[in-house]
Amino acid sequence: MLAISREIHKPQEKALALYHIGRVYQDWGKYEQAVSYYQQSRELYQQLGRDNNVANQLSWLAYGYQGWGKYEQAVNYYQQSRELHQQLSRDNNVADQWYNLAGCYLDWGKYQQAVECENQNLAIRQQLDDQVNIASAYFQLGLIYQAWGKYEQAVNYCQQSRELYQQLSRDNNVADQWYNLAGCYREWGKYQQAVECENQDLAIRQQLDDQVNIASAYFQLGLIYQAWGKYEQAVNYCQQSRELYQQLSRDNNVADQWYNLAGCYLDWGKYQQAVECENQNLAIRQQLDDQVDIARAYFQLGRIYQAWGKYEQAVNYYQQSRELYQQLGQDNSVANLWYWLASCYRDSKDYTKAIEYYQQSIALHQLLGQDESVARRYRQLATCQGLLAKNTLNLTEASELLSQAEQNIQQAMTIDTAGEYQENLAYDYTSLGLICSECLRLLSSKDLVIQEQIVLFEENCHRGLTYLDELGQTVDKADEALDMARAYLRDKIFRKS
């Protein structure tokens, strides 16, 4: 294809060919090459004075950077595309760029900006009385609120989208919204509603004889039952999905289902089966030379071996995954892998090494402007510092570690409050409560601040559980309550001593 583009002498045709080559690289997950070809196409269109094509290529450049995880550059190019379309008085295209900007901010974890951009898109669609894209805007707002952990608003927008698509007799889109509602209820922990919504999606797909999306519906049912802890049903649906994709000769989707089966067996504690499924996924990815998903397979193998308590193998796979993501310029995934390496060292009780890797993860997330991830990592770093303090005999060193942990949780709280990351805040408060509990261990029974620490422990735990309760996260609330009960018992024993 590259050779053909060099032989094309008409500039307009060459610009088009360069764009298509970029699309191929984008689909292949090779974002650096994709961006390079989009840029060449844009420059050629610019020389030809074809402003509409220039605006389109700016949007594709943004899409390339978005896929690459380079959100700042992506936002910049989407803005340039939107401004040029605005100069050309192309309202539909302007609205498209607001939609794309919302999606980019969503991926970046900047939910307030995402909502603002999507509302700009919605306003234009309403002015144009573009009912299909009004429904699409409701859908995107649903996705944003879902990612933000604001499930009630998310469900409301998905329902509005579904109802409007239903009025427009767009059965495929109606089914899509049942699928999205199922995913939202699944994340919300409302599994029965999730199953009911997914069965609605499945029924429409079967009426339409839409085999690809029937396979996708089986996959979603598998995810729901997995989250519900009903692993036998989950495996059954994942297997049905994989077999149907296999009949349809969709290798990528087959590989996806091996990956999902591995994740299900991992959660089920069946680690040998999990490894076998993940190796099936890895083999397909290697045949397809799909470097991004090879890195992802290494990551999943790391997770399995970590859960299995085989930390050396886990670290080895995490390192392979991180190195490959680094070669591919996937900085977001590199930052996440630093976190997973840290968590593995934490589980193996090498807290000093874990702290080092948490700090690497924080630094890279900060560089990428990923506030929500930065906040999470500060909290996880603080938890690890608390564990190290618990295992440190020198009381001065232990006290200093707990002081650092408290500062890091306060950093997390500041970011989470500003970004309205309610779920994160819930865990911030419960983590701070547990740090207060650990501080009590270092105090003498005659210490004057002991009562103050007990009050702080109880207040923070109560506040964290209240947030979880408001979010409807009953399972997570139960887990956190168990940790706090253990801490409370320790404190009660301490008070009696």
Name the more confident of 299 and 460: 299
- Distances from the Cα of 139 to the Cα of 58, 79, 122, 173, 219, angstroms: 25, 22, 11, 10, 21
User: In the predicted model, what is the mean pLDDT of residues 104-110?
Assistant: 95
pLDDT of residue 9: 59
Per-residue model confidence as pLDDT tens digits over 463-479:
767 767 666 654 454 45
Q: HSE on the CB side for 481, CA within 13 Å?
A: 11
Mean pLDDT for the chain?
Answer: 90
Residue 489 has pLDDT above 50, yes or no: no
- Token pair 């609120």: residue: 145
- Distances from the Cα of 284 to the Cα of 256, 318, 365, angstroms: 10, 20, 31
User: In the predicted model, what is the mean pLDDT of residues 180-202?
Assistant: 97
pTM: 0.84
Residue 29 has pLDDT above 90, yes or no: no
pLDDT of residue 12: 87
Structure confidence at residue 432 as a pLDDT band (50, 70, 90): confident
Q: Worst-scoring range by mean pLDDT, 7-21, 129-143, 181-195, 269-283?
A: 7-21
pLDDT of residue 453: 62
- Distances from the Cα of 438 to the Cα of 271, 316, 337, 490, angstroms: 34, 33, 29, 9
pLDDT of residue 267: 97
Structure confidence at residue 64 as a pLDDT band (50, 70, 90): very high
Per-residue model confidence as pLDDT tens digits over 235-264:
999 999 999 999 999 999 999 999 999 999
Share of the chain above pLDDT 70, in %: 88
Task: Mark 321-359 as b/e (b = at least 16 C-beta within 10 Å).
Answer: bbebbeebebbbbbbbbbbbbbbbbbebebbebbbebbe
Query: Residue 393 carries which DSSP code?
Result: -
Residue 11 has pLDDT above 90, yes or no: no
pLDDT of residue 484: 45
